[in-house]
Amino acid sequence: MCERAARLCRAGAHRLLREPPPQGRALGGLLRWVGARMGEPRAPLAPDAPDAPDAPAADPGPGPGPGSPRGGTAVILDIFRRADKNDDGKLSLEEFQLFFADGVLDEKELEGLFHTIDSDNTNHVDTKELCDYFVDHMGDYEDVLASLETLNHSVLKAMGYTKKVYEGGSNVDQFVTRFLLKETANQIQSLLSSVESAVEAIEEQTSQIRQNHSKASHGVVETWSGSAAPPHAPSAKLGATEQGKSLPSVSADPKEEGLEAQISRLAELIGRLESKHLQLVRQEMAVCPEQLSEFVDSLRQYLRGTAGAGSCFHIAAVRLADGFTFVVYEFWETEEEWRRHLQSPVCKAFRHVKVDTLSQPEALSRILVPAAWCTVGRD
């Protein structure tokens, strides 16, 4: 939400000097959040709100009253609504796994969590069940999320004040407002940087733990060399040719050996390819027409970022004839490497865009394919 507030400050400043938009247009995302919260039955106003003398009696402290919602509830509800692609107020197991997949919990663990949250055993979880579960486990984050609610309301109010000053204020008033707006953005960005540093530290630690576990469980996994890949681009409309990834090679100088030695090395390589399998991951995504440009830009960034991953053998994307359906093919050395990729920054950024731009949940499938097939296809 801090990131949203920062984007709001920047977007609002650019729009102030242009044509005055209707109320709520310049603050579209935030106003939608406020409107959703106002319409949420789990977050009613205090029962005695109309009586002015009783209003100050409400306890503003962190401990909510018996009939009051927990702090941060509205933020959590807003987050989960983005996962509800069908807008039916509930998540299926597939939607749940796609939204919460982080490369740490596997599919079975996520399914177990899904059924734990599904307290009424309906094989789907609604936003209320999700909210109740996470609210019970918030700990100190309750105060943080409650503060974000207050921050969003304050930013909304400040943007209205900024617009008012720039429409009729003096040069001095405009100068002060510009200064305060920039400093607000700087403070929010500084806070966001601190949180992002903590996230990166946790992800690095988690990745190291999973890597050690993978080495202990799969001690005979082959190591892929870093020799250059053939310069042939994939025959896809959208694609990213990976660099620095090739099949294992034998460290020997061909100049010092005869034809027989080279044939022996080739036979050894073919034998290793026949026993080597890659994890093929296929994603099929249907994009909302009005979000197509944003999705394509994010997809290109995802292709470039993933192609640079050392354990990704190849990645390519195809745009189908309807113009709004995309299929991404990824070849990974192992399933563990792919799951580790799910918690990488480039994957999380792409997943965030998919939540906002897809018209329905993506279709994800995986299969093992012989590594020799991939090599033949690239020659």
- Over residues 130-168, the pLDDT tens digits come to 888 888 888 888 888 888 888 888 988 999 898 888 888
Whose structure tokens read 């991953």?
Answer: 309
The pLDDT value recorded for residue 266 is 63
For the cut 70, the answer to whether the pLDDT of residue 339 exceeds it is yes
Task: Evaluate the CA torsion angle 184, 189, 195, 197 in order and state its sign.
Answer: negative
Higher pLDDT, 147 or 18: 147
Alpha-carbon distances of 50 from 45, 46, 55, 74, 271, rounded to whole Å: 10, 9, 8, 22, 80
- Tens-digit pLDDT profile for residues 25-74: 334 444 444 444 444 444 433 334 444 444 444 444 444 444 456 667 77
- Please compute the mean of the pLDDT values over residues 243-261 and round it to a whole number: 48
Query: What CATH number does the domain located at 238-378 have?
Result: 3.30.70.100
- Tens-digit pLDDT profile for residues 198-210: 877 777 777 666 5
- Please compute the mean of the pLDDT values over residues 92-101 and round it to a whole number: 82
* Per-residue exposure over 277-301, b if at least 16 CB sit within 10 Å of its own CB, e if not: bbbbbebebbbeeebeeebbebbee
Report residue 25 as tokens.
Answer: 């247009």
- pLDDT band, residue 279 (cuts 50/70/90): confident
The pLDDT value recorded for residue 207 is 66
The pLDDT value recorded for residue 10 is 52
The pLDDT value recorded for residue 354 is 92
- Tens-digit pLDDT profile for residues 343-365: 888 898 899 899 889 988 888 88
The pLDDT value recorded for residue 373 is 61
- pLDDT band, residue 292 (cuts 50/70/90): very high
In whole angstroms, what is the distance from residue 190 CA to residue 182 CA? Answer: 12
With 0-12 CB in 10 A as exposed, 13-18 as middle and 19+ as buried, what is 339?
buried
With pLDDT > 70 as the criterion, what percentage of the chain qualifies?
A: 60
- Tens-digit pLDDT profile for residues 365-375: 888 877 666 65
Other beta carbons within 10 angstroms of residue 70's beta carbon come to: 20
Q: What is the domain partition of the chain in residue ranges?
A: 2-198, 238-378
